[in-house]
């Protein structure tokens, strides 16, 4: 039992389209040294205004559980050491 002719044509077309999309090249942007020299500071950061150069904390610390559950350190009556 072979495939019907229409199924073969559809699969062939899908393969051609896939190969055409895989062969296309995308041009990536070049990272210049001007952007690298700035580092993690904002665009407003400059030597004339150093207060604007302060880094902000990306992910503030949070406990893994609620304080009332005492999952780090035992119960208030019997703390772990």
Delimit the domains of the chain by residue range.
Answer: 26-81
Tell me the CA distances in angstroms from 80 to 10, 15, 47, 66, 71, one per residue in order: 68, 63, 49, 17, 10
- Dist. CA 68–CA 81, nearest whole Å: 18
Backbone angles phi, psi at 32, to 5 degrees: -95, 165
pTM: 0.32
Answer yes or no: are the C-beta atoms of 73 and 79 closer than 8 Å: yes
Answer yes or no: are the C-beta atoms of 65 and 71 closer than 8 Å: yes
pLDDT, residue 42, reads 59
Condensed to tens digits (0 to 9), the pLDDT of residues 14-39 reads 999 999 988 887 777 777 777 666 66
pLDDT, residue 13, reads 97
């Amino acid at each position: 039992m072979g495939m019907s002719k229409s199924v073969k044509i559809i699969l062939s077309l899908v393969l051609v389209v896939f190969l055409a999309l895989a062969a296309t090249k995308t041009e990536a942007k070049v990272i210049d040294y001007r952007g690298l020299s700035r580092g993690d500071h904002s665009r407003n950061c400059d030597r004339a205004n150093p207060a604007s150069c302060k880094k902000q904390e990306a992910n503030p610390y949070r406990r893994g559980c609620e304080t009332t559950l005492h999952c780090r350190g035992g119960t208030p009556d019997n703390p772990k050491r």
